[in-house]
Amino acid sequence: MDAISVIRTKRDRGRLSDEQIDWVIDAYTRGVVADEQMSALAMAILLNGMDRSEIARWTAAMIASGERMDFSSLSRPTADKHSTGGVGDKITLPLAPLVAACGAAVPQLSGRGLGHTGGTLDKLESIPGWRATLSNAEMLSVLDEVGAVICAAGDGLAPADKKLYALRDVTATVEAIPLIASSIMSKKIAEGTGSLVLDVKVGSGAFMKSLEDARELAATMVGLGTDHGVRTVALLTDMSVPLGLTAGNALEVRESVEVLAGGGPADVVELTLALAREMLDAAGLTDADPAKALADGSAMDVWRRMIRAQGGDPDATLPVARETHVVTAPATGVLSGLDAYAVGLAAWRLGAGRARKEDAVQAGAGIELHAKPGDAVTEGAPLMTLHTDTPEQFGYALQALEDAVTVAAPGSAPAPTPIVLDRIA
């Protein structure tokens, strides 16, 4: 086998054989296949696709590149959730402790920012002292004692995906459905969770722009999970508008804590509860009431214990960006459009994301929204606040926001879009 032959096969719209897939994943993991060669193959896959059997074999090869975890010693049923990525999508932060407060164990392996979308680990690392990297023994201990853990996948878990995930982020190949599906499912299957709920985002701020593509991705992942004995269900959720009122690492942590305290934006609360109910149902905990656990403070208690168990201080002051810039409403009327992709791109340009896989992110960078579609706005009034430590980036971020906002005449509010668009099981 050689990398050039594998690349050529997919470049010419051929089907990769099982042997080619097994070899290229193993060789890339060992460093025999170079980043530039895997980049070319990833682009060929993005452009020409894979059939279901290719995706299944690719996923199996990713799993086989490392170890598999076992949570059978836990007294609770396990349930996990994965989002395909969005703008302002901080749902994992309140969701994991909420589901744990209702009786499940939540082994939440999360990732870093990918393209214009935020990363759960980047957000949590804005909490002083918090650690993303845990050993398998530490992860199991936190799960046993607290009920929830949010951490990075260990080096031994699907190491092929860890390398390819970072590469896709900087080579414009994030959107490839076969690579998204295999990346997510290889980690989740190797992780060993008993049930999995997928939040597949749809809209301008998502990698899947259409319902058709989102259904294809969801069905592919549900099939992969089911074939490996993991009870899997997917919700298709709207990402045409940012979730909540913040996009950026520390900004989203603050908003998540507001939700756990019984407040927070209505759309974040609604989606958190919808996903919690799916997770609890998949875990067989059908009598649990996540709304009650959110209201009575038990979810907040689990959050604080989870943060402490990973070295963080839940009472610490979160980082704040050194510079801000206010964007005002261009006209008086009703905010009828707020493009999620533009907001995510602007937040990325302000420092909330990374341009290269080795780049650091700014904890305080991001965007704070003062209105959402359907709200009345007044010309010249604050519409959003940009936050960054590098004010020279303001102009670059504002370019991304040039066509992001649409204001309609007073009294012509758009019909609200439901958060949950479809369910695939």
Please report how many Cα atoms fall inside a 13 Å half-sphere around the Cα of residue 401, on the Cβ side.
28
Measured between its terminal Cα atoms, the distance across the chain in Å is 38
Tokens of 11: 């470049």
DSSP-derived letter for residue 311 is T
User: Are 246 and 367 in contact, with CB atoms under 8 Å apart?
Assistant: yes
Residue 127 dihedral angles phi and psi, to the nearest 5°: -85, 120
Q: Which two tokens stand for residue 322?
A: 């050194």
Instruction: Name beta bridge partners: 308.
Output: none
Residue 183 bears catalytic tag: yes
Residues 353, 249: Cα–Cα separation, whole Å: 9
Please tell me which residue in 90, 187, 231, 387 is annotated as part of the active site.
187
Selected catalytic residue, list 82, 123, 163, 188: 82
Query: Is 161 one of the catalytic residues?
Result: yes
**Torsions phi, psi of 308, nearest 5?**
-65, -40
Distance of CA 283 to the CA centre of its chain: 21
Rg of the chain over all Cα atoms, to the nearest angstrom:
21
- Tell me how far apart the alpha carbons of residues 103 and 234 are, in angstroms, rounded to a whole number: 21
Catalytic residue, candidates 81, 168, 349, 354: 168
Residues 6+ apart with CB under 8 A from 141: none
- Which pair of structure tokens corresponds to residue 297? 């403070």
CA gap 102, 113 in Å, rounded: 29
Residue 188 designated active-site: no
Annotated catalytic residue within 161, 169, 199, 238: 161
Among residues 126, 183, 204, 256, which one is catalytic?
183
Task: Give catalytic status of residue 256 as yes or no.
Answer: no
User: What does the DSSP assignment read for 56-96?
Assistant: HHHHHHHHHTS-----TT-SS-B-EEEE---SS--THHHHH
| Residues labelled catalytic | 82, 161, 168, 183, 187
